[in-house]
Amino acid sequence: MMQFHKLILYSIIFGLAAAGVLAQTGIVTSEMRIKANEDYIKKSWKEAEKDYAAIVAAEPTNTGARYRHGIALLELGSAKAAAAEFDSVFKASPNAVFALALARAEAAMGNKKKAFDMLKMVAKYGGANADTIENAAEFRDLKGLAEFGELVKSADLAANPCKADPAFRQFDFWLGEWDVHNPQGIVVGSSSITKDLEGCVINEHYTTPTYEGKSINIYDRSDSKWHQTWVDIKGALNEYTGGIKDGKMIYVANERQNGRDVMLRMTFTPLEDGSVRQYGEASFDGGMTWTMRYNLRYTKKKDK
């Protein structure tokens, strides 16, 4: 039994030594990568630092490994060594992730100006969510500074362009939980209108006791128009295009129904009492004349 234990021990020692030789000779095994990734995910920073140091030694141009090595160093309190890694990867591949990491390292060393310079690079190269920046422990001494707040805002808007562009908020008057009334004032359905994907998309979910449909609405900056895709439980698909005119959202779709070309138009009008009117029309003569299809009024649901 003692001989067996010695054999196992020698195997482990030989295996570790072989891994070190492989790394030194420029060969990184899949086992090394798997272990490094597992230690990084588990935030076992001491192990992760060793793992990625070995990989970086074998693959000095591996920016992903250098970045993770830097993160492990930063978490272990070695900000200067981490900054060297982040500076290297940022120069090799300028992007917001590497810029933010370098800003964290500079802040940890008390280099406020360099930290701010790199936060500017974060916004320049695509941005980062405000929470990601504000929750970084290295910035705790900078949070009260006006310049830091402005840089966080710039980075957040760069990462979430729909927040920055007011065109994406043109249809916000439709957001809410609504009862939907017919012209006689009878509630005929319910509609939930919500925002999604960091404010880029407006989702509609319309239901009645016997019917259900959904739509996705988005402003397309390439053509400066709004687009709606509507689907329902009957298998219908409508593609609308439109925009805001005189404070109203007007959508138009071109369809083929029963062998005839038809234009469909929807007009959403915000009313003074906070309700919204949705007026649907159809035209079979290319838009010369229109026939009403429905006339609905949305009122906010009351809290029960």
Summarised one tens digit per residue, pLDDT across range 52-71 is 999 999 999 999 999 999 99
Q: Is 22's pLDDT higher than 70?
A: no
For residues 135 and 254, state if they share a domain: no
The pLDDT > 70 percentage for the chain reads 91
44 DSSP assignment: -
For residues 85 and 171, state if they share a domain: no
For residues 207 and 131, state if they share a domain: no
The more confident residue out of 14 and 236 is 236
Please list the residues that pair with 130 across neighbouring strands: none
Domain boundary among 161, 194, 225: 161
- How far CA 204 is from CA of 49, 85, 147, 195, in Å, comes to 48, 47, 39, 9
Measure the CA–CA gap between 209 and 64, rounded to whole angstroms.
54
For residues 201 and 252, state if they share a domain: yes
For residues 8 and 152, state if they share a domain: yes
Q: What is the mean pLDDT of residues 11-37?
A: 61
Measure the CA–CA gap between 56 and 25, rounded to whole angstroms.
12
The runs of H, that is alpha helices, within 109-198 are 112-124, 130-134, 146-159, 161-164
Domain boundary among 111, 145, 161: 161
284 DSSP assignment: S
Q: What is the mean pLDDT of residues 134-159?
A: 95
Domain of residue 250, residue span: 167-300
The pLDDT value recorded for residue 13 is: 28
For residues 122 and 172, state if they share a domain: no
The pLDDT value recorded for residue 256 is: 84
166 DSSP assignment: G
CATH number of the domain bearing residue 66: 1.25.40.10
Q: Which helix (H) or strand (E) holds 185?
A: none
Measure the CA–CA gap between 94 and 111, rounded to whole angstroms.
20
For residues 58 and 113, state if they share a domain: yes
For residues 133 and 173, state if they share a domain: no
> Whose CA is closest to 269, among 123, 171, 176?
171
CATH number of the domain bearing residue 273: 2.40.128.20
For residues 17 and 96, state if they share a domain: yes
For residues 182 and 136, state if they share a domain: no
274 DSSP assignment: S
For residues 135 and 255, state if they share a domain: no
Domain boundary among 105, 131, 161: 161
Measure the CA–CA gap between 288 and 127, rounded to whole angstroms.
48
Q: Is 31's pLDDT higher than 70?
A: yes
> Whose CA is closest to 252, among 222, 286, 277, 220?
286
Q: What is the mean pLDDT of residues 131-139?
A: 96
Q: Which two tokens stand for residue 94?
A: 């300028």
* Spacing of C-alpha 49 from chain mean position: 29
Q: How many domains does the chain have?
A: 2
> Whose CA is closest to 228, among 279, 177, 264, 256?
264
- How far CA 10 is from CA of 6, 16, 145, in Å, comes to 6, 10, 57
187-195 long-range Cβ contacts below 8 angstroms, 24+ apart: 188/296, 190/301, 191/298
The whole model's pTM is what? 0.66
Q: Is 303's pLDDT higher than 90?
A: no
Measure the CA–CA gap between 275 and 296, rounded to whole angstroms.
10
Ramachandran class of 286: left when φ > 0, alpha when ψ lies in -120 to 50, beta otherwise: left
Q: Which two tokens stand for residue 84?
A: 């060297």
The pLDDT value recorded for residue 170 is: 97
State which amino acid sits at residue 31: E
> Whose CA is closest to 220, among 241, 198, 249?
241
For residues 149 and 32, state if they share a domain: yes
Least trusted range by pLDDT, from 25-34, 182-191, 211-220, 290-299: 25-34
pLDDT-based confidence at 198, cuts 50/70/90? confident
Largest CA distance in the chain: 97
Q: Which two tokens stand for residue 222?
A: 């390439």
